[in-house]
């Protein structure tokens, strides 16, 4: 990973689209700081497409799409995108699964939830689970004391034994049924809503993230950036971001924004 300060100006100038994880990438220790929020706002005002790509739930994403200075949001690790059309005052929602599939998957996730909570002491249902439509989030670090890595691996193994996908973020293990991830839904969004073909989009995106659930994005985009806390997860990553910021979490995101805005002049 190359220090972000060494990003060539021409490469920074080619960026038109900012895709970014939220937890511990835009937020800092669970808080959306003024500097990170201002970075989002300045980027959007400067004409960049700004799109958070998060593991957070549908309930939160409705709020984010409506109220944050963003162009759309991908949530629950790619289960859907939401985009609020301000002119038409209409929320566009696109889900990977049909409503019937979502219902069936929920019953299977309920069984996984029971097994995880009874066999991994110290794990808990994520406090934002009630606002989720497609996935199951197990807390190992947000509102519970951090679990050892071996226990996190056991949670992942339970999901996988049930045939679900599981991804580790900085705070939760998220699991779901369905062949999607942050990348596949970001692709759908950029094509459907913004009319971009994939090659064109790939080369005008910068992706920012901090943890293993960002790996498909790090692998897909030539220009990707880890905020400094990515170092905590480096040993778990097969695909690392091309660049790494000096700042942690929201400070790292603000550092990236500053660089992009300066390059544009």
CA 61 to chain centre: 11
Position closest to Mg ion via CB:
23
Q: Which listed range, 19-27, 120-128, 141-149, 196-204, lies at the site for Mg ion (CB under 5 A)? A: 19-27
Which CB atom, from 170 or from 174, has the smaller least distance to Mg ion? 170
Site for Mg ion in 182-241 (CB under 5 A): 210-211
21 binds Mg ion (CB under 5 A): yes
- Tell me the CA end-to-end span of the chain in Å, nearest whole number: 26
For Mg ion, how many residues bind (rule: CB under 5 A)?
Answer: 6
Shortest reach from residue 227's CB to Mg ion, in Å: 9
Q: Which listed range, 83-91, 126-134, 167-175, 200-208, lies at the site for Mg ion (CB under 5 A)? A: 167-175
* Distance between CA atoms of residues 39 and 262, nearest Å: 12
Which CB atom, from 105 or from 174, has the smaller least distance to Mg ion? 174
* Distance between CA atoms of residues 42 and 85, nearest Å: 20
* Distance between CA atoms of residues 46 and 50, nearest Å: 10
76 binds Mg ion (CB under 5 A): no
* Distance between CA atoms of residues 67 and 115, nearest Å: 37
> The tokens of 84 are what?
């609020």
Q: Which listed range, 18-26, 59-67, 159-167, 226-234, lies at the site for Mg ion (CB under 5 A)? A: 18-26
Among the listed residues 225, 220, 231, the one whose alpha carbon sits nearest the alpha carbon of residue 244:
225
Which CB atom, from 39 or from 97, has the smaller least distance to Mg ion? 39
128 binds Mg ion (CB under 5 A): no
* Distance between CA atoms of residues 227 and 244, nearest Å: 6
* Distance between CA atoms of residues 225 and 151, nearest Å: 28
Per the rule left: phi > 0, alpha: psi between -120 and 50, beta: everything else, 249 is left
* Distance between CA atoms of residues 264 and 115, nearest Å: 51
Shortest reach from residue 25's CB to Mg ion, in Å: 5
Which CB atom, from 123 or from 170, has the smaller least distance to Mg ion? 170
170 binds Mg ion (CB under 5 A): yes
Instruction: For residue 216, give the 3-state DSSP assignment.
Output: helix
Among 12, 15, 16, 24, binds Mg ion (CB under 5 A): 24
251 binds Mg ion (CB under 5 A): no
255 binds Mg ion (CB under 5 A): no
Shortest reach from residue 197's CB to Mg ion, in Å: 28
Q: Which residue has the tokens 């439509």?
A: 133
Shortest reach from residue 169's CB to Mg ion, in Å: 5
Give the chain's radius of gyration (CA, Å): 18
Q: Which residues bind Mg ion (CB under 5 A)?
A: 21, 23-24, 170, 210-211
């Amino acid at each position: 990973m190359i220090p972000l300060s060494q990003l060539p100006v021409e490469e920074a100038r080619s960026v038109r689209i900012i895709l970014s994880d939220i937890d511990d990438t835009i937020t800092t220790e669970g808080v959306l700081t003024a500097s990170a929020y201002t970075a989002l706002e300045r980027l959007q005002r400067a004409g960049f497409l700004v799109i958070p790509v998060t593991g957070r739930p549908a309930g939160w994403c409705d709020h984010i799409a409506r109220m944050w200075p963003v162009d759309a949001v991908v949530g629950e690790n790619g289960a859907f995108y939401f985009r609020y059309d301000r002119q038409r005052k209409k929320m566009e929602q696109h889900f990977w699964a049909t409503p019937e599939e979502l219902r069936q998957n929920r019953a299977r996730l309920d069984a996984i939830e029971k097994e995880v909570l009874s066999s991994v002491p110290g794990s808990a249902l994520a406090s934002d689970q009630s606002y989720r439509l497609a996935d199951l989030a197990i807390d190992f670090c947000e509102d519970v004391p951090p679990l050892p890595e071996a226990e996190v691996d056991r949670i992942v193994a339970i999901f996988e034994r049930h045939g679900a996908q599981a991804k580790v973020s900085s705070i939760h293990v998220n699991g779901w049924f369905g062949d999607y991830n942050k990348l596949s839904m970001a692709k759908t969004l950029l094509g459907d809503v913004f009319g971009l073909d994939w090659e064109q989009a790939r080369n005008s995106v910068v992706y920012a993230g901090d943890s293993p659930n960002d790996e498909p994005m790090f692998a897909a985009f030539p220009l990707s950036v880890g905020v400094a806390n990515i170092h905590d997860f480096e040993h778990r990553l097969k695909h690392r971001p091309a660049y790494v910021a000096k700042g942690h979490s929201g400070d790292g995101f603000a550092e990236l924004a500053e660089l992009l805005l300066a390059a544009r002049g």
